[in-house]
Amino acid sequence: MSDIVLKTENLTKHYGGVHALQEANFELRKGEHVAIMGDNGAGKSTFVRQITGVEQRTDGKIWFDGKEVNFAGPIEAREAGIETVFQNLALADDLDVPSNLFLGREKVLFNLGPFSILDRKAMRKATEAALVRTAVKIPNLSSTIRHMSGGQRQCVAIARTATFASKLIIMDEPTAALGVQETAQVENIIRTLKENGEPLILVSHNMRQVFDLVDRIVVFRRGRIVANLRKQDTDGNDIVAYITGAKTGQAELQAA
């Protein structure tokens, strides 16, 4: 039990009459990278929103880092150590890289309440360290986000999650809007996170990417988890069968 980072039990979310997520039982162990797959509307993003406190669940329980948790909002989840890279990257366009990495948790030289003097040197150094750790390469740190490509922005968003001692990183389709080369860069970062033993939940539509990167694949269909498979026990056709509903998978779930 101690090496389980995140566990959900019967996690359920109804939007009025729409059962977006039903009785999801999910586990993530230390250092494990898990992909969440499924068709549009299958419940992937709903699942992520319940874990990160963006929405409040209808029913079920969540354990994180050994404790049962009830996050009132995304900030609480972040403070507990869940870092999320959202589809609509939460970056401030007019700030430079260190300012974005430390937004809302700036390092301070002198504490004067809201007028606290920022420790810009320390933030810059920590930023460089985070970029090295995630193997993100951004030639000019003092350039504002506005002047960056989609790939660079995504890298900054990911580097932010790695700047702080996060216990779990969630990425919601991090490469959906990126070109081939930029996608490769983001995938490299994810591999680096894996080497560093940082657990990750990756929501993705990209079959090749998922098989390249993660240890385990969880498939959602119509709000339910229909498959939970180790990568070596499955293949692309198998996963597609679960996604489309050709296979229902209750038997395999019991086995896994």
Partner 1 sequence: MSQTSHGIGGLSYDAKKRPWPAEFNVFLALVILVAAFELVGRVFLGDSFLFNTRENVSGLFNEQRLQIIILQVSIVGIIAIGVTQVIICGGIDLSSGSIVGATAMIAMSFAQVATVNGNPNPKAMFIDYGWTDLPVIVPLLVAIGCGLIAGLINGLLIAYTRIPPFIATLGMMVTARGIAKWWSKGQPISFPTDSFAAIGKGLMPVVIFISLAILFQLILTYTKYGKHCYAIGSNEDAARMSGIKIANHKVLVYAIAGILASIAAVVLSSKNLTAQAGMGVMYELDAIAMAVIGGVSLSGGRGSIIGTVIGSLIFGVIISGFTFLRLDAYYQEMVKGVIIVGAVVLDQWRQRRRAIGA
Which residues form the interface with partner 1 (CB under 8 A)? 74-75, 78-79, 86, 89-95, 99, 103-106, 108, 112, 114-118, 120, 135, 137-140, 143, 146-149, 151-152, 155, 181-182, 184-185, 188
Nearest residue (CB) to partner 1, 2 versus 88: 88
Beta carbon of residue 73, minimum distance to partner 1 (angstroms, whole number): 9
Neighbours of 119 (CB within 10 A): 16
Beta carbon of residue 6, minimum distance to partner 1 (angstroms, whole number): 20
Beta carbon of residue 149, minimum distance to partner 1 (angstroms, whole number): 7
Nearest residue (CB) to partner 1, 61 versus 147: 147
Token representation of residue 46: 């709903």
Beta carbon of residue 100, minimum distance to partner 1 (angstroms, whole number): 8
Nearest residue (CB) to partner 1, 92 versus 256: 92
CA 165/CA 144 separation, integer angstroms: 25
Nearest residue (CB) to partner 1, 58 versus 144: 144
Beta carbon of residue 158, minimum distance to partner 1 (angstroms, whole number): 13
Task: Please enumerate in sequence order all residues whose Cβ is within 8 A of that of 180, keeping only pairs 6 or more positions apart, or say none.
Answer: none
DSSP bridge pairs for 112: 114
Nearest residue (CB) to partner 1, 190 versus 219: 190
CA 52/CA 87 separation, integer angstroms: 14
Q: Are strands 4-15 and 224-230 parallel, antiparallel or unpaired?
A: unpaired
What's the one-letter identity of residue 36?
I
Task: Please enumerate in sequence order all residues whose Cβ is within 8 A of that of 233, keeping only pairs 6 or more positions apart, or say none.
Answer: none
Beta carbon of residue 141, minimum distance to partner 1 (angstroms, whole number): 11
211, burial (CB in 10 Å: exposed 0-12, middle 13-18, buried 19+): middle
46: left (phi over 0), alpha (psi -120 to 50) or beta: alpha
CA 138/CA 225 separation, integer angstroms: 38
Beta carbon of residue 126, minimum distance to partner 1 (angstroms, whole number): 15
Nearest residue (CB) to partner 1, 32 versus 182: 182
DSSP bridge pairs for 220: 38, 225
The helix or strand, by DSSP H or E, that contains position 187, with its residue range, turns out to be helix 180-195
Nearest residue (CB) to partner 1, 85 versus 239: 85
